[in-house]
Amino acid sequence: MRCPTCNSTTRVQRTYVITEYLRDIMHCCKNEKCGHIFVTQQEFIRSVVLPIAEPDSPVTA
Ligand SMILES: [Zn+2]
């Protein structure tokens, strides 16, 4: 994730679990002159390929 203020690279400072499929991610700008700290969200949207069966569960015919 790039800093929206100065476009420098950032590092993840902390992650907060909001729900099972939603997290707030706190980023810290690596540019010392900027120092921007901001939050993004990571959320499950949709599946692209579904597994044929649940992992570790027996396949039923
Ligand atoms: Zn910045």
Residue 5 banded pLDDT, cuts 50, 70, 90: very high
Task: Tell me how far apart the alpha carbons of residues 2 and 28 are, in angstroms, rounded to a whole number.
Answer: 10
What's the 19 CA to ligand 1 centre distance in angstroms? 28
The pLDDT, as a whole number, for residue 60 is: 61
What's the 28 CA to ligand 1 centre distance in angstroms? 8
pTM of the prediction?
0.76
What single letter denotes the amino acid at residue 19? T
Task: Tell me how far apart the alpha carbons of residues 14 and 23 are, in angstroms, rounded to a whole number.
Answer: 10
Task: Output the six-digit token pair for 9.
Answer: 């690279």
Task: Tell me how far apart the alpha carbons of residues 9 and 3 are, in angstroms, rounded to a whole number.
Answer: 6
